[in-house]
Amino acid sequence: MRHRIVPPVDQGAGTIDTADGVALAAEWHVPDHAVGAAVLAHPHPLMGGDMHTPVPDSLFRSLPGRGIAVVRFDFRGAGRSGGTHGGGAAESADVAAATEVLARLAPGVPLWLVGWSFGADVCLQVLHRAVAGWVCVAPPLASVPADDLVAAHDPRPKLLLVPEHDQYRDPSSAQDLVADWDATTVEVVPGTDHFLAGRLALVVDLVAAAIVPPPAAAH
């Protein structure tokens, strides 16, 4: 099935159809001369998560000003999207559909999957050809079976931003769990917990730097 976006403009809201026929509510913003792109995945729908929760909202509002195109969407069964919650596995099709759309809207730039909490774990199930890497913000690393986190042994880079006081996966536990993953970095977000109060601006900075690394300082 061809993925569809309505209407096809650089900024707006519409619908993304997944490969299994679920219509997802979505919003996107593609700045002129984009230098990177990010698919934004939200936290657990059964715990109130949707695309307007704080982390995806902050990224959606801030990244285009740094030249990074973004798309955010409601997972199946959440917000204004169709379908029903799929336990994490089915939601990988939602991320894949959003990736297809953003790759067409912002071709030729590094495209990263960026998820918060449940959304981070879902992103780690997706091995799309267009993906340059993954940023996992406060990943529980428990929302889906460990064997489904197929990005773990993919050679493309993975950055885990783990809050210092995360209630679901603290930095030490995360470091131990990913010790044998390929191309994976764990960075601690200091002074905050899973919900990142007071650290959203830092998260934006870290995500932007992962997608479009700053130029090396001259010596």
pLDDT the model gives residue 1: 38
Q: What is the CATH number of the domain that holds 57?
A: 3.40.50.1820
Residue pair 33/21 in contact by the 8 Å Cβ criterion = no
Specify if 22 maps to a domain: yes
Q: What is this structure's pTM?
A: 0.94
pLDDT the model gives residue 3: 47
C-alpha to C-alpha distance for 21 and 70, rounded to whole angstroms? 23
Specify if 165 maps to a domain: yes
| Number of domains comprising the chain | 1
Identify which has the larger pLDDT, 6 or 23: 23
Specify if 56 maps to a domain: yes
Specify if 184 maps to a domain: yes
pLDDT the model gives residue 217: 58
C-alpha to C-alpha distance for 86 and 100, rounded to whole angstroms? 20
- Which has the closest alpha carbon to 122: 101, 136, 103? 136
Q: Residues 145-155: pLDDT tens digits?
A: 999 999 999 99
Q: Residues 183-210: pLDDT tens digits?
A: 999 999 999 999 999 999 999 999 999 9
pLDDT the model gives residue 23: 98
Per-residue pLDDT band at 5 (split at 50, 70, 90): very low
Q: Is the peptide bond before 54 cis (omega within 30 degrees of 0)?
A: no
Specify if 219 maps to a domain: no
Helix (H, G, I), strand (E, B) or coil at 121: helix
Specify if 10 maps to a domain: yes
Specify if 47 maps to a domain: yes
DSSP 8: -
How do strand 23-29 and strand 68-73 relate by DSSP bridges?
Answer: antiparallel
Q: 93: which 2 tokens?
A: 């099709």
Counting Cα atoms < 13 Å in the Cβ hemisphere of 21 gives: 0
Per-residue pLDDT band at 214 (split at 50, 70, 90): confident
Q: Which domain holds residue 22?
A: 5-211
Is the pLDDT score of 7 beyond 60? Answer: no
- Structural element, H or E, at residue 211: helix 200-211
Handedness of CA 71, 75, 76, 80 (dihedral sign): negative
Residue pair 166/203 in contact by the 8 Å Cβ criterion = no
Q: Residues 67-87: pLDDT tens digits?
A: 999 999 999 999 999 999 999
Specify if 217 maps to a domain: no
Extended strands (E) in the chain:
5-6, 11-17, 23-29, 36-41, 68-73, 111-116, 131-137, 158-163, 184-189
